[in-house]
Structure 1
Amino acid sequence: MMNNSSRIKALAVPVVSVLAGLILGAVIMVVSGYSPVEGYQAMLRGAFGRTYNIGEVFRSATPLILTGLGFSVASTAGFFNIGLAGQALAGWISAIWLALTFPDLPKIILVPLCIVIGALAGALWAGIAGFFKAQFGTSEVIVTIMLNYTILYISNHLVRYVLTDNKDATPKISENASLRTEFLRNLSGGSRLNMGLFLALIMIVVIWIFMKKTTVGFEMRAVGMNPFASEYAGMSAKKNIVLAMMISGALAGLGGVVEGLGTFENLYILDAAPAIGFDGMAVSLLGGGNPIGILLSAILFGTLKTGGLKMSSVDIPNEIVDVVVASIIFFIGISFAIRYIMDKFSPKKGEV
């Protein structure tokens, strides 16, 4: 168990990383001839100035919670699942396909079916990498990167030649398949906030209980810490590798379902795999893999993404927001250096 000093450091690292990222963003604004004060004020107005904006912050955070949880599960089991974007797209495709195929099914049946099929699609797509890792020791990083491109081209082909007649986007799904509700629309000033938020919050609780309170979760954590010792203790490393990747992919698939049924309500031609995959990795790293930390990190990223659109009102390019996000990720990536500095300047035990 962590002592108080370790807990403080664990909390301080992401806080310092965020502050350092914001400061670096401010420095870049100054060097580029922009006012960081005006820029960040515009960002806050863009995120919290209206009820609509607040709804969009939480709408943007929702899929990041799910993909962040997915990365956390794989990471806890000792794997770097860089294929979250492709797994999210697999879930997105499957949910839209089912929604367009059975548009008249009752909502109480169609929405759960779309959610389940989307999670299964993400799990199966991640399971490919898990299988090769378990059976042949193949790098999950290389396989998942390749799978990201594979599903991207599959998706674009399906949109153009299967789901439509040479069009760039599918028709909108029926109301029976949508995650949007009149209640949330009115509550959030007409934003795209949808029921996916509640799905994400449920998954936070489910994953915490699963990883901390179940035998399967314990085995995954054990395999992540030492696969050889776990195997010696009678745990199947191969089984847990595949299972961890499939659970990770299922969560990413749910992120894609939320984007498909809630945010866009269709599927369209993409130039690259969905950004929610890579942003979800950053959210998980910033949150330290902790479900609550992931929730808070996702809200922060939603604030940056949504509020950043308003920075153009003071003539600051939207790309500055990407610089700030990248800076935060950078400082998270060198968290060992932050810990080293904190250890260097913190008083040693026994010192007055």
Structure 2
Amino acid sequence: MPRLSNGLLRHAFTINPLLPPLLRTCRTLPSAHNELRWLRQHVDARLETKFGRKKDVPAPLRQRCIVNLVKKRARGVPLQYILGSQPFGDLDILCRKGVLIPRQATEEYTYRLSSILLSTPSLRTDPKQIRILDLCTGTGCIPLLLLSLLSPTLKTTVTGIDISPTALALARLNTTHNSPPLSSAHARFASGDVLASGAALLDEAHRARGDEGWYGDERFDVVTANPPYISRLGFNRDTERSVRNFEPRLALVPEEDRIGRIDKGRLEDIFYGRIVEKAEGVGARILVMEVAGTEQAGRVARIVRGRKGWGKIEIWRDFPDGVVGEEGEGRIGGDEGIEGRGVVGEKGELVEDIVFRGVGEGRSVVCWRAVGEPASESRGDI
């Protein structure tokens, strides 16, 4: 990471003494400005709730609270943990320590997926309703945004699975926090180990409460998954300090002690074969899996190609519809184009003619069941 110039830090200090510590984390002056504004707004909202009126808030107390939050942010604490939430589509997703913070790229492909589901009745077993299963659900942001986007048109039910009790509690809280438009009657979250085979997807606690049947006998039209997909080296070398120090490693890096009982392969890829099996087992007609980048997207596409019953495969980039985002707001396309074809072979060879969509890094692998291919009748893979 390049060092900040003393001139930039001095300039920031002349604008506001609180900007330099934020600048060391944010890296750019516009970002530091934005974060300071959000921190002030957060403090003002909390103090006005406590004191009733803005004019009754003691100025020294307000300043002290702002300085304390700036110090936390300067230490690298993620802004979303400090503010307590992250906008995700039209939802306000609560964020807590121990649960991965939703990313913009995840929001982008969730929107694109919702458009496809609305415009493609063949992806639904029942034309008037749709059932969605989200694996490694975390905050529940993916299934809850899909529920929000689809439910005005279709009867929609979403189910999220996660191994973390902290994540499950937060996902349930996010359902009620965003109600309306969300309804807990159409969203449910359960504990389960995605790497487990058979009925062990749900842990013993849920089976003891009689919850096993709803999963074991149920079919889903759509499976989404944002599993741990970063290698240990990538975690230590490529992630930001705030990610390494404050976000849950369990949600980012597969546990090494589990690779011995999973098919051999790269540690960062071990979830994907299991996810594909589970998508087949529940009869999913479309499967969306988030990945770390283009290279991993190619490996995951080959995993799917190695199994029967899957037809079209696409790799969606960070901005799958071609909209670049904040600093390039409204710009369409780019050097890569909105649609292209990519080399996904391990050594650079063209393995399959896979469509790449959008701008940026490969961010999700999207797989459709082959036309006329029946859903798996085997429950053993689930």
- TM-score normalised by structure 1 residue count: 0.22
The structure carrying a bigger strand percent of its residues is 2
Larger gyration radius, structure 1 or structure 2: 2
Would you tell me which structure has more helix in proportion to its own residues? 1
